[in-house]
C-alpha cells in the first residue's frame, strides 16, 4: 500500500455504518394545464382566468443511494380520492413531504428549479405542513458549474456516459394522464421510476467532480466526507494566502477533501470537501 494511503480501524468503520446518512434521489411528473387561448404565438399572453383545469402531480418516485430499485406513488393509490376527483394529488404530495423531510440529502435533476418548488406549491394548496430545512443537490445545476456538455439534460448525460436512457413517451401519454386514464398513469409511473434510476447513475458518475458536495460523513472523523469511505490517500497540500492544509483524495469515489485545521499550528483537524 502507498505510504500516503489511510484507512480507519474496524471500530470506527462500525461506528460510521451506524450513522449512514439517508441520501434520497427523487423525481415527479406533473400534468398539463388546460386553458383557453386566442393564438399559438410564443408571446401570446394567457390570463390566469383562462385556465380550465390547473396542473397537478401525477406521480412521484424515489430511491435511497443504497437501493437497487425505485419506489413510487401515484394518484390511483388513494382509490376513494381518485374516484371522486382524479386530479386530487393530496396523498402523493403528503407522502413525498414525509419522505423528503426524513432525508439528510435530497438529489434531483433540475430539482431546485422544478421538482421542489412544484411540490411546495401543492403543499401550500393542500394546507400541509411545510418541509423542514433540507439539504439539496441539483445535478443539472452542479453539472453546469463544472463542465460544458452539449446538453445538461438527464437523458443526454445518461446516454453519453453509457448509463441508460429515458423511456419513450409522447404527448398523448400526458393527455391521457391528465384525463385520469389509469393505464396511462401506470405507464407514467414506469417512466418516472426509470428517471430516478438513471439519475442515481449520473450522480455517482459526476459527484467526484462536483464542487459543492455537502459533508455527509465525519466532522473530525478520518473518512471521506462525501461517500464515507475509510480509504483515502494523502495528496499534497491545499494552500491559501496565509494557511496550508493537508489534502486527501478518496480512493473509492474520487472526491478531494482536506483537513479544516491548518498544518501550521496544533488545532485538531476536521475533514472538509474541496
User: Average pLDDT by consecutive 10-residue portion of the chain (274 residues)?
Assistant: 54 52 96 91 85 97 96 98 98 98 96 98 97 95 97 98 97 98 98 98 95 72 77 78 80 79 55 53
Please tell me the distance from the alpha carbon of residue 255 to that of residue 239, in angstroms, as a whole number: 18
Q: Where in the chain is the domain with CATH 3.30.420.10?
A: 22-208
The residue behind cell 464515507 is 228
pLDDT of residue 272: 52
Whole-Å CA distances, 217 to 15, 87, 152, 162, 179: 11, 41, 28, 29, 45
Global pTM reads 0.79
**Could you confirm whether domain 22-208 is CATH 3.40.50.970?**
no
pLDDT of residue 58: 98
pLDDT of residue 77: 97
pLDDT of residue 218: 66
Widest pairwise Cα distance in the chain = 72
pLDDT digits (tens, 9 = 90+) for 24-36: 999 999 999 999 9
Amino acid at each position: 500500500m502507498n505510504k500516503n494511503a489511510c484507512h480507519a480501524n474496524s471500530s470506527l468503520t462500525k461506528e460510521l455504518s451506524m450513522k449512514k446518512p439517508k441520501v434520497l434521489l427523487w423525481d415527479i411528473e406533473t400534468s398539463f394545464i388546460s386553458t383557453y387561448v386566442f393564438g399559438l404565438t410564443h408571446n401570446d399572453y394567457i390570463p390566469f382566468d383562462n385556465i380550465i383545469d390547473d396542473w397537478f402531480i401525477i406521480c412521484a418516485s424515489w430511491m435511497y443511494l443504497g437501493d437497487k430499485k425505485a419506489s413510487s406513488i401515484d394518484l390511483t393509490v388513494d382509490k376513494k380520492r381518485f374516484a371522486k376527483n382524479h386530479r386530487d394529488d393530496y396523498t402523493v404530495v403528503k407522502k413525498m413531504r414525509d419522505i423528503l423531510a426524513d432525508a439528510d440529502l435530497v438529489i434531483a435533476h433540475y430539482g431546485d428549479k422544478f421538482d421542489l418548488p412544484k411540490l411546495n406549491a401543492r403543499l401550500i394548496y393542500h394546507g400541509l405542513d411545510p418541509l423542514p430545512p433540507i439539504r439539496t443537490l441539483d445535478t443539472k445545476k452542479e453539472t453546469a458549474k463544472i463542465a460544458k456538455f452539449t446538453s445538461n439534460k438527464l437523458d443526454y448525460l445518461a446516454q453519453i456516459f453509457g448509463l441508460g436512457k429515458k423511456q419513450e413517451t409522447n404527448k398523448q401519454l400526458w393527455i391521457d394522464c391528465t384525463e385520469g386514464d389509469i393505464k396511462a398513469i401506470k405507464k407514467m409511473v414506469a417512466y418516472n421510476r426509470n428517471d430516478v434510476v438513471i439519475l442515481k447513475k449520473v450522480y455517482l458518475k459526476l459527484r467526484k467532480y462536483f464542487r459543492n458536495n455537502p459533508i455527509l460523513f465525519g466532522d473530525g472523523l478520518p473518512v471521506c466526507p462525501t461517500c464515507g469511505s475509510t480509504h483515502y490517500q494523502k495528496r499534497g497540500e491545499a494552500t491559501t494566502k496565509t494557511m496550508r492544509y493537508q489534502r486527501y483524495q478518496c480512493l473509492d469515489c474520487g472526491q478531494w477533501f482536506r483537513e479544516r485545521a491548518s498544518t501550521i499550528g496544533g488545532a485538531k483537524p476536521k475533514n472538509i470537501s474541496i
